[in-house]
Structure formats: structure tokens, C-alpha cells
Chain A
Amino acid sequence: MTDDVMATPIAGRSLWGDAWARLKANRAAMFSLYYLIAMAVICVVGPYFVPHQYTTIYADYVRTAPSLSSYPKPDMIETALAEAVKRMRVDVKEWHQEGERVFVTVASSKAVDERNARYLDRSDTFDDAKVEGKSADGREMTMSASVKQQYFFFGTDNTGRDMLSRTLMAGRISLAIGLLAGFVAVTIGVVYGATAGFVGGKTDEVMMRIVDVLYSLPFIFFVIMLVVFFGRNFVLMFLAVGAVLWLDMARIVRGQALSIRRQEYVQAAEALGVRTRGILMRHVIPNLLGPVVIYMTLLVPQVIILESFLSFLGLGVQEPMTSWGVLISVGAKNIGTANWLLLFPAFFLVSTLFALNFVGDGLRDALDPKDR
């Protein structure tokens, strides 16, 4: 018996292994994590599978309500047909539908040109137009065309663009911006805060005064100044936004670095003659990582909200590129007539923010040393 026990020594769990085990036990956080992964995958891969490009304009389907069945609806065929025939400058004599195909006979006072059939193809509703026959005097012509079946699960927007592909594209942009700006903020904040905390003394004093002064300026003023400087180039702008959000990170890291420096194990390491570099790598940085990771998960939703806020004001991402903020701002202006323009992007944004929050809370519980 005892031999068996001795044969498999119990492996201690590392800080990260321990945290992971705690996180796995937190069902809300794990569900949110999977949700976020699914959301990211759908937004990145999804647009390739949606048959509509996010920039394609379907003139026949402006502000079409979301529907699980295919378009065109039976009553839409006649309007689309009338529209196409109007372009031919002829009159509809008779039309009927046989299965997938529509047959239309047109009449005119002059001879009807066969090339007119292409007007049917140009419509978003029809496809594969053919001339079936002409009357002897050429003033009547019968054409047929198949009805193009299209799906708009999320409906279409004011110019007739598919909302599903737009919402997914928007998600790509919003998530990418959140990660990008979050990463910039964390990098600047960690470097600045760790330097101030570790160097200490007068340098620390001056560096932190600078942070205080930047804090006292209204935040939105800062962001708008950056927008003004960097124009509407959104990548540059969100690097800049990241460059604004580092203030909290710097404070947290500095405080942490200061307190770690004063720990006995660091003094012991110093007494043993470990170099500064070694102390930084072995003691300071691993102990800093926890708060940094937690703060980063809380920062990403902040950035996404900020991006949406700026896009809402018309300062962020510009058309035809889109983001959840852009879509919500359009939706907010059209709630009376087309509420799906608001509801779908709002659901995507809010559920992502929720999930990010739960993951952040879960990580805080998993990594918080006070909790052990």
C-alpha cells in the first residue's frame, strides 16, 4: 500500500494551475468563456459563409424585416416585376408563375427588343432570364426568369444591405479594436507603472504626478483631441485610445510593484545577492501578472464600449466599414420603423459585454490571493 502511494508523488499545483482549476469550477465564467470563443469564431469565420457581402446593396430589399423563410415573398414578386418591366419602357400584358419560374408577356407600340430580358437579370429578385417567344409583328414578347431565393435572417438596413453579414463584420471590428487597444493600454501601463514602482524616489513622484494631471482632464476631451489629431483612421485612433486608457493600469501596477518590492522574499533574494534582473523576472513579474490579466479582461469591454460610443457619435469607424457602435447608432435613429436594426447589434454587443464581465469576475476570483 504505502509503496503505491510513494510511487506516485503528489505534484504541487502551480499558481496558474490552481487558478485554472478555480476558474473551471466557476460555471458562469466557463460558460461565458465558451460563449466568447464562439462569438469570436462566428464573427471571424461567419462572413465567409453568409451568401451576402456586407457591402452589397439589394435595391429590391430595402429595410426588409428579418425572416427565417426565403425572400421574395409572393406579394413582392409582382412589384419587382413591375419595376423591371418599367425599366424596359414596355407594358405588362400578362404574367404568371410556374414553379420556380415567372413568365411575363410584355407589349409595346413598337417592336420589343430581345435585349430587354437583361432588365430582369438586373433585378435582385430574378435570375436566368430567357426570351420564350415573340409575336409575329414583334410588338409582344414573352420572357421567363427564375425567382432568386434569398435569405435575410437579420433583415436588411436602410440601403438594402444584409444585416447578418454586417453584424458579423461589425463584431470582427469591435472585438479586434477591443483587443488591440486593450493590449496597447496594458503594455504602456505595465511598463510605466513597473518603472515608477521599481525605480521609486523622485522619478516615481514625477511620473505619478503626470498621471494625476492626465486624470484630471475630462476623459472625453482627451479622446476627442486624439480623434482630431489622428483623423478618422481607425487603427491609429484606437492605438491612441489604448494610449489613453493606460492610466489605471499604471497605478495598479505601480502599487503592486511597490508592495512586492517590500516583501520579505524579495529582501531575502537581495540579501542572497540575486541581481535586480533576476528579482524582476522571478518575483516581481509573475506576481504582477494576476492583476494585469484581471484588469485586461475588464479593459476590453471598456474599450468596446468606448469604440461604440465614438462610433455612435460618428467619430469612430466610418462607412462602409462598420462596428456594433455604428450599427446601434443607425438602429437608434430607426427604432420607429425598423427595430431589427437596433435589436440584433444591441444583442450581440450586450451579450459579449456580459460574457467579458463574467470572465473578468471569474478570473478575479480565481487569481485573487486574498481569497486563499
Chain B
Amino acid sequence: MLLYVLRRLLTAIPTLFVIVTLAFFLIRVAPGGPFNQERGLSPEIKANLEAQFGLNDPLWLQYAHYLNNLLHGNFGPSYNLPDFTVGELFAKGLPISIQLGASALILALILGTLLGTVAALNQNKWGDYSVIALATAGSTIPTFVIAPIIQLVFGLSWKLLPIGGWGDGALLNKIGPVLTLALPQIAIVARLMRGSMIESLRSHHIRTARALGLSDWSVVVRHALRGAVLPIISFTGPAAAALLTGSIIVETIFAIPGIGRYFVDAALNRDYTLVMGTVVVIALFTIVFNLIVDIMYAVVDPRVRYD
């Protein structure tokens, strides 16, 4: 097992390398540069700025520089937010994004599993239909519609929640963003869970368990659930990576200072280092969570072995 984890971590290095290389050259090929948009920047100052950040060096040299810095854990300075290094921006924003994302993920996993199980146990009854309706709604209504409607209903009409802002992490400020992030995920988890639970309830060991006279609770929770959660686990990997690295929509609408907003702004402003930093962070999260998922698989399902 330990060997397997080590091997997986080793194979992650070339993957990460390819992603970094591709992203680096892609953003460099794009027309424009980080200091093109600034108004009233005289050519001399622009040249100086570019020289200071080494943007006039040949591209391969800049690439080598960047890789070297990255290996030392240095993401470089942000070009458009000159008072901060990319590392500092992440240190400030990432914990916020992770908090919201993790809360949303946990909420989605608990509620989704619960709803999916309820639907599976009441197949083709109204309980099932209402879960299906909820799941369809959750997966079709885009977040940029859900978020303002949550603001409208809970913030403006009922005045239960603040409309936006982080408020230094006050609980009430988190409810809106977490709900918005969680709703589509609840829909997906519930749908997956319903399908796999129905399948799991049909299997032989469940029939045996029932024949042995085990209680419904024991049959469902101890036996059926274990086989049914496998699809949920494989869903969790990519979902966790996406949720924890922040959502631009939710962070923009609710005015949350996470890292989700940086990506688009940075790419549009050709803030090369910030774009690269974001790509690396997202890739890292994806790789790590996929690894965790594979380990979880082996824990839940003893038939899965890694030697």
C-alpha cells in the first residue's frame, strides 16, 4: 500500500510537469503582456518593468527560471498586484476558499447520500419523485442563477442573511455561498446514490441479510450502504479539487476574498505568475484528491488491492 502511494506520487511529477509546461507556453503565446493595459505608462518605464521581471529574456530561460523557482516553492511576484507575491495571495485566499468548499462538500455528501438512500428505498413513490425533482433542479439551474436568488430571498426579502461579504468568517456570511456551492453537488450525489443503492439492494448478499432476519436499518446501513458508496467516492475526488480551489461565480456574487476570482482576472491581465500559480494549485489538488480517492477505495472495498 505504502509502495503504491509512493509510486502514485512519483507518477504525478511528470503529469504536473506537462501541465506546467503547457500552461506556461500557452499563456505566453497569447498576445499582450502584463504591463500593456496600464494607462499612461511611458515606454521607458514599461521597458524597465519588463526588465525587472526578466520578461525580456529568451522564453526558455524564463521557463527555466520559473521551474527553478517553483521547485523551491516560490511562485514569484504578482505583476498586477505588485505589493503581493503569488504565495502571499494564496496564503490569504486559499484558507477561505477551502473553508467554503469543504463545508459545501461535507454538506453535499451527507445530504446527498441521505436523499439518495431515501429515494432508493422508496423507489417510484412520491419520496423518490421529489428527490428526483430536486436533483434535476439542482443540476440544471446554474450557480449564477441560484446565488442571486438566494441573495434575493434570504438576504433582501427575509433579511435572514447578509447579502454578501466575508465578515471575517462569520457563520451567517458563509451560509449563502456554501448553499450555492452545495446545491448542484447535492443533486449529483443524490442521483449517484439513488442509482447505486438500488443496484446494491438487489444484490445477493442483501437478500441473504434479509433472509437472516436482520433489521431494515442494519441491512441498509451496514450492508447495502458499503457497496453503494463506491461511485460517491470516485465522484468526491474531482469534486473536492474543484470546490476547494474556489468558485469564481460564488466568490464574485457574494464578494468573498477567496482565490477563485484570481484565475480569470489574472488570465485577462496576463498576470503570468498568478495564472501559473493557480494552474499549479488546481493541478496539485486534483492529483492529491484522486490519490486519496483511490486509497479510500481500498479501505471501503476489500476486493480492491494495490500491490
A→B interface (CB under 8 Å): 213, 216-218, 220-221, 224-225, 228-229, 301, 305, 308-309, 312-313, 315, 325, 328-329, 331-332, 335-336, 339, 342, 346, 349-350, 353-354, 357
Is B45's beta carbon under 8 Å from chain A? Answer: no
Nearest CB on A from B160, distance (A): 15
> Does B144 contact A350, Cβ atoms closer than 8 Å?
no
**If the complex has contacts A332-B253, A339-B152, are A228 and B31 also in contact, measured as CB distance less than 8 A?**
yes
Q: Pick from A224, A309, A329, A349: contact of B267, CB below 8 A.
A: A224
Q: How far is the CB of B135 from chain A (nearest CB, A)?
A: 11
Q: How far is the CB of A126 from chain B (nearest CB, A)?
A: 36
Partner of B249, one of A218, A224, A309: A309
Q: Assess whether A350 is in contact with B141, with CB atoms less than 8 Å apart.
A: yes
Q: Which of B15, B139, B149, B267 touches A216 (beta carbons < 8 Å)?
A: B15
The answer to whether the Cβ of B172 comes within 8 Å of any Cβ in the partner chain is no
Q: A220-B264, A312-B144, A354-B140 are in contact. Are A225 and B27 (CB under 8 A)?
A: yes
Q: Which residues of B contact A218 (CB under 8 A)?
A: 263, 278-279, 282-283
Binds A, one of B18-26, B116-124, B224-232: B18-26
Q: How far is the CA of A308 from the CA of B275 in the complex (A)?
A: 23
Q: Which of B246-282 contact A (CB under 8 A)?
A: 248-249, 252-253, 263-264, 267-268, 275, 278-279, 282
Add 9 more A-B contacts to A224-B268, A332-B253 (CB < 8 A).
A220-B263, A225-B267, A312-B249, A328-B145, A331-B148, A346-B145, A349-B142, A357-B136, A357-B139
Partner of A313, one of B147, B148, B264, B279: B264
* Interface check B30, CB cutoff 8 A: yes
Any A CB within 8 A of the CB of B9: no
Considering the chains assembled together, what is the distance between the CA atoms of A221 and B144 in angstroms? 19
- Residues of A within 8 Å of B141, CB to CB, are 350, 353
Q: Is the CB of A350 within 8 A of B140?
A: yes
Given the complex of chains A and B, what is the CA–CA distance between A346 and B144 in angstroms? 9
- Shortest Cβ-Cβ A-B pairs, 4 listed: A332-B148, A224-B267, A228-B30, A353-B140
Alpha-carbon separation in the docked complex, A305 to B142 (Å): 7
Complex contacts, A228 vs chain B, CB 8 Å: 30-32, 267-268
Q: Mark B26-46, 1 if CB is under 8 A from A, else 0.
A: 110011100000000000000
Contact partners of A335 in chain B: CB under 8 A: 148, 151-152, 156
> What is the total of A-B residue contacts with beta carbons within 8 Å?
94
- Most chain A C-beta atoms within 10 Å of own C-beta, residue among B137, B144, B248, B249: B144
**Residues in B whose Cβ lies below 8 Å from that of A353:** 140-142
Q: How far is the CA of A339 from the CA of B156 in the complex (A)?
A: 11
Against A, the Cβ 8 Å flags (1 = close, 0 = not) of B126-162 are 0000000000110111101101110110001000000
A346 adjacent to B18 (CB under 8 Å):
no
A-B contact pairs, 16 of them (CB 8 A): A216-B283, A217-B22, A217-B279, A218-B263, A218-B279, A221-B267, A229-B31, A305-B142, A313-B248, A328-B148, A329-B144, A342-B148, A346-B145, A350-B145, A353-B140, A354-B140
Residues of B within 8 A of A225 (CB): 26-27, 30, 267
Distance, CA A346 to CA B137, complexed state (A): 13
In the assembled complex, the Cα of A301 lies from the Cα of B142 at a distance in Å of 10
On chain A, the residues within 8 Å of B148 by CB distance are 328, 331-332, 335, 342, 346
Contacts of B137 in A (CB 8 A): 354
Q: Tell me which of B27, B156, B264, B282 has the highest count of chain A C-beta atoms within 10 A of its own C-beta.
A: B264
Task: Output the nearest chain A residue to B157 by Cβ-Cβ distance.
Answer: A339
Q: Which residue of B lies closest to A339 (CB)?
A: B152
Name the residue among A229, A313, A329 with the largest chain B CB count within 10 angstroms: A313
* Interface pair A332/B147, CB less than 8 Å apart: yes
- Residues of B contacting A221 in the complex (Cβ-Cβ under 8 angstroms): 23, 26, 263, 267, 275, 278-279
Neighbouring B residues of A329 by C-beta, 8 Å: 144
Chain B residues lying within 8 Å of A308, measured Cβ to Cβ, are 142, 144
Shortest beta-carbon distance from A28 to chain B in Å: 10
How far does the alpha carbon of A336 sit from the alpha carbon of B264 in the complex, in Å?
26
CB neighbours (8 Å) of A301 from chain B are 140
In the bound complex, CA of A110 to CA of B55 (Å): 70
Q: Which residue of A lies closest to B26 (CB)?
A: A225
For B282, the chain A residues whose CB sits under 8 A away are: 218
How far, in Å, is B207 (CB) from chain A's closest CB? 23
**Chain B residues near A350 (CB-CB < 8 A):** 140-142, 145
**Complex Cα–Cα for A315 and B248 (A):** 13
- Bound CA–CA A354/B156 (angstroms): 27
Q: Which residue of B lies closest to A357 (CB)?
A: B140
For B268, list chain A residues within 8 Å (CB). 224, 228, 315
How does the 8 Å CB contact mask read for B1-28 relative to A, with 1 for contact and 0 for none? 0000000000000010011001100110
**CA A48 – CA B26 in complex, angstroms?**
44
Residues of A within 8 A of B278 (CB): 218, 221
C-alpha gap A354/B138 in the complex (Å): 11
Q: Is the CB of A349 within 8 A of B145?
A: yes
Q: Is the CB of B136 within 8 A of A354?
A: yes
State A331–B144 Cα separation when bound (angstroms).
11
